[in-house]
Structure 1
């Protein structure tokens, strides 16, 4: 067993966490009779050697030995080993090669090409594994037929055989998926496989799940050939599938050891809980339907029709999967999502609290366009309080608590004060108060009630503990947005504590908060001035900006800003340029340096400096500013929000940007910074307003994302 294993210099290779010298021990542990030892080894293999799908040279070097384990009937958990082999190969294909098959070069070198080459040399062995007596091994191996077996006829024959023999839904779905992968990979298999899939989809002798899978995978093979009959047929099959599959309660999440909130920020704990939730799949058709949505792409009405059927399923797991897919659609694609928002909001009234919680979470994540769900959210919150009492924010049942909290957060992000009672209860009880703090800034009309409570929480944070940084920053951000100068003493005290404990992140946040208060924070001017010479890369520019805000003295800040313009750290240059633009014409001494920075290699520097040039120099600088902005936006679409905001300020002089603005609005996918809903909705709004102003004869038209959603 494992001949040649010790001849490999494992110590010379690395995985995600350092030396790969542990791999031989992991391989041997996968043969252990001890269940826990095998589980630990497999977890370590996925966590380090195949970390988040990566394939390192050491991962590829382990493949021959993993094959030995898979082929040896004495190996416990053979199915898990086969699944690992297929995962390594699938990730190698997806990450290591362009769509045309060209290998992508990585530095340091990856193991993608090596893994694929080896697995295709051994591709025939997947045919044997797919016929194994162990159904779990067969299930794990089927995917390898489509990905690695280069004999198209043999692969297709085995897949047809397996579909006829396998009765389990999971195996049949895998067979049809593998057939599509085979057709997409090998031209010789394309037409025969697609014809077979089309026949399966139309065959009434097949079950609805198999027919639906064949319909979807046939569409995946040729998305350009999707006709008007495909989605209606899929909806009918979805309905039949819902009637054919048993309705089961959602399986509880695996229990994990609770992290201590005395040493880990609650936001981090929640992030891992969210990660666990989003890696779970609840219905056997979830992966298939996700594939269908990917194939349909920008066909939003068709996708909404499919999701409407998914959301009407009697199976709670199917609806939960559909709620998540709905969120992904709205976060990724532009359009009028009113119907889908209302369909998701309907899930708030379900008896299954986990589905309701997920629906509320999706509405919260999509809050810039979630206005159509406002009344449903408010009604849900009222119903929960009536049924469970006013302290439902702290309900002991996890799904009920999450459902309420996410609904309150979603309503608060819409600026609706009906969320306020629960937020105040959270801040007063300190139960999951951090969740309330994150959305408090969206209710400025309630600043008189929120600010005292936020300040109390801020004063209660122990900045001698590094893990408290996230909580302090969240409160400071909320106070900055609320803008009530009554918070100045608490923020000044926090600034002092952050400096003493060298909490640079909190120091920067406190400075930014004081900046929003302007002259009302003048009491902190000496402390702020002392931080303008700080060595931390983020603290110094934040201190300079705060110093300008509280003192409004150009003579005091100009030397500091000119020094930052000469910095080698790009974000410091950008911060300095932004502040120079805020100062405006009195900062004209900076014009020569800003002009020189329009040739900087980093497009973000050029964008910030171009905007500053416009604010300081005005019309005389317009040609150079416009050229720099348009080039940067064409090079990096993520700059679009900054670019369009400056173009908006330039007014008629931005006319040469009209074609680029129209091209931007014509894109079906969300754009702007981070391609997030909030940045994209703002980008669309400003772009449409600017187009209408620059070319009144050709109206840009209302944004389909906001026409019926009530967004500003």
Structure 2
């Protein structure tokens, strides 16, 4: 250890921390010794932001360690914070020690310094303050694998004494964690102390892996219902968070989540665990949502609690083929009542839910419950209408007028685009909204989307073709292309679209979108084939996919398209697009079948959540496309 008198022997001016030169470090360390508690606390806060900053360390960090260790023993206060700072500086995992950047790096230098001063810090394990003892245990844990033999033996003996006799259960549990890091595999699952049992169960689960033993699951469910007193505010080196451990065994995780929710779901831990499981594992949605049934009934009048429950129900109920009335009936009652829900709780689920006028109704729509159609007209939220159009494409007679009213009421910007695009779900059933679509085309508000829908719904109202022709002359290439394609669909004349696509494909920009447009022309796009074929070997995967789809759409031949698409298939968004294109073609290369079986039967989700809650889950699309091809 080094006293403040030695601070000037270190060339701090040549070292750096998070904000540049480390010249201010001596002043900060001296301030830690101040009799003025406020001055000392401010200096510690500064050190947490300079020599250690959001998990990063710097050249000035290791030289600070012996001075900070001296302050632990001799400064008038701040012992716990100083120990936590030392632990944070030395924080690392096994993968760090095995990485190429370890040798000669800042963290290695910090750990070497901490190993040298650790013998002098061991008396802190007998400090009268429990939180100081906990912090000291954490310091020992950070460098346990690196300690020299003599220090290792002395530290082990002190930690064993804490585990055997400390009067505070959570300190004894901390000591158990450290002993296991020393290689002392202890499993006191029958300890009379809940904190010790819980720590033992966590480490047993981590070491043995899933499926977890019934005794371990019972302890995690019973003793873990409250925020974990040992792990809640500590990140142990190489430790795995409890929720992550339980997610690895979905049966155990759902059983534990059920118990935690039954005990009041403190901190939303049970709800959060159930959500993690359905985000990770396929086909666990019915079980997870069943756990939340009590919350939907019991948390009325509790905006936070109800928001947390709905934040799980809304995105996942659509994955249940036929939700039971036990789930949909409470949602219907909540939707009718317009129960207040916290936006903060909804956002906490990781989706952009904030601002939904009626989340329960949103969930009812996702469940495809026909009762939702009674309520949607009275809640014309744009996202709700878009989702309703997707979930009830046969209900155009009820939904198209509602969307039309929203458009006439002046919806603009991205909301207008979304409403217009939603009309495409109804096909010819969207013709009632043709006046609104034509108005969008005339005014340029959501004009591109309107042109696309006019073509898809076959709406050849008087003046439509002429208006599309005028829109095709505007400088916006996206609008021009959508208008010429719509005109082709209504009249069968491909010439304007061919001329425009020829220019766009020669230009090269936005190739994937232009190639997709060529595919829509089908055989009529045969003159464009020489411009399409070079894109089959593009370095951009999305361009190759679009070119393959276009080639097949134009020629009807699978010889060129299928190998390109098969080569792109992977559990990625572009690979998913290629797979769905293959499924639409209906040809499955034999060599692709093992990959498709993996996509279809893997119990884990291979793709993560969609960007927006209204979108179908990419993993469900992946599995569905794989099944379609395997059974083609």
Range class of TM-score, shorter chain: 0.7 to 0.9
Which of 442, 451, 456 is the equivalent residue of 2:403? 451
CA 1:384/1:576 → structure 2, altered by over 3 Å: closer, same or farther? closer
From 303, 306, 311, the equivalent of 2:261 is 311
Q: Is the 8 A contact 1:447 1:482 kept in 2?
A: no
Deviates more, 1:113-122 or 1:125-134: 125-134
Superposed CA offset, 1:647-701 (max 9, x none):
22333454442222113224332124768972211221232232123xxxxxxxx
Cα displacement string for residues 254-298 of structure 1 (whole angstroms, at most 9, x for unaligned residues): xxxxxxxxxxxxxxxxxxxxxxxxxxx798777999735534665
Q: Distance in 2 between matches of 1:38 and 1:561?
A: 67
Mark the CA change 1:423 to 1:162 in structure 2 (over 3 Å): closer, same or farther.
farther
Match for residue 409 of structure 1?
362
Post-superposition shift, 1:452?
3.8
Given candidates 613, 617, 621, the residue that maps to 1:678 is 617
Conservation of the 8 A alpha-carbon contact between 1:476 and 1:491: yes
Gaps of 5+ in 1: 105-110, 183-188, 248-280, 428-432, 464-468, 500-506, 535-539, 694-712
User: Is 1:341 aligned with 2:289?
Assistant: yes
Out of 625, 639, 643, the residue aligned to residue 574 of structure 2 is 639
Q: Say whether the 8 Å CA contact 2:332–2:364 is kept in structure 1.
A: no
For 2:350, the equivalent position in structure 1 comes to none
What is the alpha-carbon distance in structure 2 between the residues aligned to residue 479 and residue 20 of structure 1? 57
Q: Deviations over 1:183-207 (max 9, x none)?
A: xxxxxx4xx333x2x3x22xx3342
Structure 1 position 118, deviation (Å) = 2.9
Kindly indicate whether the alpha-carbon contact (under 8 Å) linking 2:206 and 2:240 is maintained by their aligned counterparts in 1: no
Deviates more, 1:677-686 or 1:20-29: 20-29
Is residue 2:47 matched to residue 1:101?
A: no
The Cα of 1:474 is off from its aligned counterpart by: 5.0
Aligned to 1:331: 279
Map of 1:300 onto structure 2:
250
Match of 2:537, SS?
A: coil
Structure with greater Cα Rg: 2
Identify unmatched segments of 5+ residues in structure 2: 347-353
Q: CA RMSD in A?
A: 4.8
- For 2:169 and 2:51, how far apart are their aligned partners in 1? 32
Aligned residues: 580
The aligned counterpart of 2:109 is 118
State how far apart, in whole Å, the 2-side matches of 1:530 and 1:40 are: 67
Contact 1:423 1:436 in 2 (8 A): yes
CA contact (8 A) 1:70 1:78 kept: no
**Equivalent of 1:556 in 482, 496, 507:** 496
The answer to whether the 8 Å contact 2:307/2:342 transfers is: no
Instruction: State the structure with bigger RCO (CA 8 A, min sep 6), 1 or 2.
Output: 1
1:664 aligns with 2:595: no
How far off is 1:379 after superposition? 2.5
Output the CA distance in 2 between the equivalents of 1:443 and 1:558: 35
Alpha-carbon spacing, 1:448–1:649, altered in 2? closer, same or farther (3 Å): closer
- Note closer, same or farther for the CA distance 1:559–1:45 as it changes in structure 2 (3 Å cut): farther
Equivalent residue for 1:209, pick from 195, 216, 220: 195
* Corresponding residue for residue 250 of structure 1: none
Q: Which stretch has the larger CA shift, 522-531 or 21-30? A: 21-30
Whichever structure has more helix as a proportion of its residues is 1
Deviation at 1:155, TM superposition (A): 5.5
Q: State which of 232, 239, 242 in structure 1 corresponds to 2:214.
A: 232
CA distance, structure 2, for counterparts of residue 613 and residue 48 of structure 1: 59
> Alignment partner for residue 7 of structure 1, among 13, 21, 27?
13
Q: Which residue does the alignment assign to 1:517? A: 454
- After TM superposition, list the pairs within 5 Å mapping 1:16-95 onto structure 2: 20=20, 28=28, 50=53, 55=56, 59=58, 61-62=60-61, 64-65=63-64, 68=67, 72=71, 74=75, 79=80, 83=84, 86=87, 90=91, 93=93
1:360 positional shift:
1.5
Q: Deviations over 1:318-341 (max 9, x none)?
A: 6x2111111111112224442222
**Aligned in 2, Cα 1:162/1:652: closer, same or farther, shift over 3 Å?**
same
Distance in 2 separating the partners of 1:528 and 1:326 = 50
Q: Report the alpha carbon displacement of residue 217 of structure 1 after superposing the two structures with TM.
A: 1.1
Contact kept in structure 1, 2:307 and 2:343, CA below 8 Å: no
Taking structure 1 as reference, are residues 156 and 396 closer, same or farther at Cα in structure 2, changes over 3 Å only? closer
**Candidates 689, 705, 709, aligned match of 2:628:** 689
Q: Which residue of 2 aligns with 1:350?
A: 298
Change (3 A) 1:557 1:239: closer
- TM-score, length basis structure 2: 0.74
**CA distance in structure 2 between the partners assigned to 1:36 and 1:473 by the alignment:** 57
